[in-house]
């Protein structure tokens, strides 16, 4: 039952990672598995070879919390391969309620995380502001167009996987900024084994290096790191705002035009400029559902503890 719940949390992380602008790290943060995930990944290091030699493969698997990692990454992969089409369809057909749901999810998550910080100081408030500013700057950057070389694919994988571990910053959005999102999706669609292997190698490299840093920061400066990560979550709300006007477009792997740069509008401006209904009632209902989901998880975790 314990690992089934972890598997479901992994599925939620995978579902979030499919959406450019929403991070699987945010879901790990909300569901309370980020610390355990980072600590488990950080144990995959050269010392693991010594554990294998002394105690065997089974002991090494237990040392890295193998069942937990299998459950999490199994859930992520399951979600990516089974829910990707559904989420893409929902974003295309019902964008306002979907983005509203995530908007509510992030707002209540920020409140939930701030409640866990033991006291505020000027330094912590500055860290919170730095997190907000850093995430906001990333969301408004103009995309660049990296050349599709093996080195760039490796670097893109390393950066994207680091972003997936950070609450608030989306790995898929980072690939968009680097100009590699379409190329990587095309490689996945055409089963280009070489490109996918290089991208996966970059992901593994980024995962094993960045997780050590983030895990160490959470151990030594838990509240300061927590408040910075919470700022990252808050800073991405502009990207998740439901009512937008498209300024520029990009071509996806299927050859269809999809939004690239967008401008946030009020619901009234959205109706005026686009001629489409704002679906305000649906948006509020979806936002309340997102808030209710996190509140329910918090209440469940409180009862369990």
**pLDDT tens-digit profile, the chain (305 residues):** 678 888 988 888 887 777 666 677 778 877 778 888 888 888 888 888 888 888 888 888 888 888 999 999 899 888 877 776 777 778 778 889 988 988 888 888 788 778 878 878 888 899 999 989 988 887 777 666 677 788 888 988 888 887 777 776 667 777 777 777 767 777 776 778 888 899 889 988 988 888 788 888 888 888 888 888 888 888 878 878 899 887 776 665 556 666 667 788 999 999 998 888 999 999 999 999 988 877 776 666 555 54
Backbone angles phi, psi at 245, to 5 degrees: -115, 130
- For residue 300, the model assigns a pLDDT of 64
Same domain, 253 and 233: no
User: Is residue 304 a part of any domain in this protein?
Assistant: no
User: Is residue 200 a part of any domain in this protein?
Assistant: yes
User: Is residue 113 a part of any domain in this protein?
Assistant: yes
Buried/exposed 5-36: b ≥16 CB within 10 Å, e otherwise = ebbebbbbbbbbbbbbbbbbbbbbbbbebbbb
User: Is residue 102 a part of any domain in this protein?
Assistant: no
Number of domains in the chain: 2
For 193-202, which contacts have Cβ atoms below 8 Å and span 24 or more sequence positions? 195/150, 195/153, 198/150, 198/153, 198/154, 198/157, 199/153, 199/154, 199/156, 199/157, 200/157, 201/154, 201/157, 202/153, 202/154, 202/155, 202/156, 202/157, 202/158, 202/160, 202/161
Same domain, 190 and 284: no
Among candidate residues 112, 97, 129, 91, the one with its CA nearest the CA of residue 252: 91
User: Is residue 247 a part of any domain in this protein?
Assistant: yes
Please tell me what DSSP assigns to residue 15.
Answer: H
Q: Is 163 helix (H, G, I), strand (E, B) or coil?
A: helix
State the first-to-last Cα distance of the chain, in angstroms, to the nearest integer.
Answer: 16
pTM: predicted TM-score of the whole model, two decimal places: 0.71
Task: Note whether 42 and 103 are within 8 A (CB).
Answer: no
- Sorted by sequence, the CB contacts under 8 Å of residue 53 that are 6+ apart come out as none
Query: How far apart are alpha carbons 48 and 262 in whole angstroms?
Result: 46
- For residue 305, the model assigns a pLDDT of 47
User: Is residue 96 a part of any domain in this protein?
Assistant: no
- For residue 68, the model assigns a pLDDT of 92
> Diameter of the chain by CA atoms?
70
Backbone angles phi, psi at 246, to 5 degrees: -75, 130
- Sorted by sequence, the CB contacts under 8 Å of residue 283 that are 6+ apart come out as 96, 97, 100, 242, 267
User: Is residue 101 a part of any domain in this protein?
Assistant: no
> DSSP E strands: which ranges in 157-268?
244-251, 257-264
Same domain, 169 and 262: no
Same domain, 255 and 214: no
Same domain, 117 and 134: yes
Enclosing domain of residue 255 = 241-294
């Amino acid at each position: 039952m314990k690992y089934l719940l972890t598997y479901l949390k992994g599925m939620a992380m995978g579902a979030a990672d499919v959406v450019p602008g929403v991070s699987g790290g945010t879901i790990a943060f909300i569901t309370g598995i980020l610390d355990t995930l980072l600590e488990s990944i950080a144990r995959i290091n050269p010392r693991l070879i010594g554990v294998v030699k002394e105690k065997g493969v089974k002991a090494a698997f237990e040392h890295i919390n193998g069942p937990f990692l299998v459950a999490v990454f199994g859930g992520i992969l399951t979600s990516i391969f089974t829910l990707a089409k559904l989420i893409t369809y929902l974003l295309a057909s019902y964008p306002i309620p979907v983005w509203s749901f995530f908007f509510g999810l992030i707002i209540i998550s920020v409140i939930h995380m701030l409640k866990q910080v033991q006291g505020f100081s000027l330094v912590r408030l500055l860290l919170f502001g730095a997190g907000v500013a850093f995430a906001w700057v990333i969301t408004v950057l103009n995309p660049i167009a990296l050349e599709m070389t093996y080195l760039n694919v490796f670097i893109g994988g390393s950066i994207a996987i680091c972003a997936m571990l950070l609450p608030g910053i989306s790995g898929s959005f980072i690939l968009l900024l680097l100009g590699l999102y379409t190329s990587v999706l095309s490689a996945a669609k055409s089963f280009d084994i070489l490109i996918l292997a290089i991208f996966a190698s970059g992901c593994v490299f980024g995962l094993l290096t960045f997780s050590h840093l983030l895990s160490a920061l959470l151990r030594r400066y838990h509240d300061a790191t927590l408040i910075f990560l919470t700022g990252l979550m808050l800073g991405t709300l502009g990207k998740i705002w439901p009512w937008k006007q498209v300024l520029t477009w990009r071509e996806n792997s299927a050859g269809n035009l999809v939004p690239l740069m967008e401008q946030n509008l009020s619901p009234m401006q959205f109706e005026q400029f686009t001629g489409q209904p704002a679906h305000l009632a649906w948006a509020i209902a979806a936002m309340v559902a997102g808030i209710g989901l996190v509140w329910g998880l918090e209440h469940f975790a409180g009862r369990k503890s």
